[in-house]
Amino acid sequence: MSDEKPWGTFCDVFGPTARNRVLEIFLEGPGVDNGLGNIAEESGLSRAAVYVIIEELLEQRLVVPSRKVGRTQLYKLDMNKEEVKALLKAFDLTLKLVAKEVERGMMKRTEKTVAR
């Protein structure tokens, strides 16, 4: 079994709640539409839990239905919503923070190697 977390940086910063785990999937690919099964698999949540969260996000208009593939309804971020734009900005900032931390870690390792 993998020790890997079923969430990423956004959840590390804002908390790994079920809602944030679902939002993170949408934020990772803002133009990509997702079905309940995909979201459940990616987030590590049950389909029932994802269904409840999607209903909440639909009510808040953070996500909207995009298209149907067979009997599967797909959803995507509502890019016209100011709250979504703010979430995307926060997501981008968290990624920049991680990039800086990784860069600092690499620099420290290089300094240690050079010092030897």
Using one digit for the tens of pLDDT, what is the confidence trace for 54-112? 999 999 999 999 999 999 999 999 999 999 999 999 999 888 888 887 787 776 666 66
Q: Is 107 exposed, middle or buried (0-12, 13-18, 19+ CB in 10 A)?
A: exposed
Is residue 3 in some structural domain? no
Longest dimension (CA), the chain: 62
Residue 83, helix vs strand vs coil: helix
The domain tally of the chain equals 1
pTM over 0.85: no
Average pLDDT on 38-44 reads 94
Is residue 80 in some structural domain? yes
Q: What is the CATH number of the domain that holds 76?
A: 1.10.10.10
Structural domain including 42 reads 9-115
The two tokens of residue 93 are 């900032």
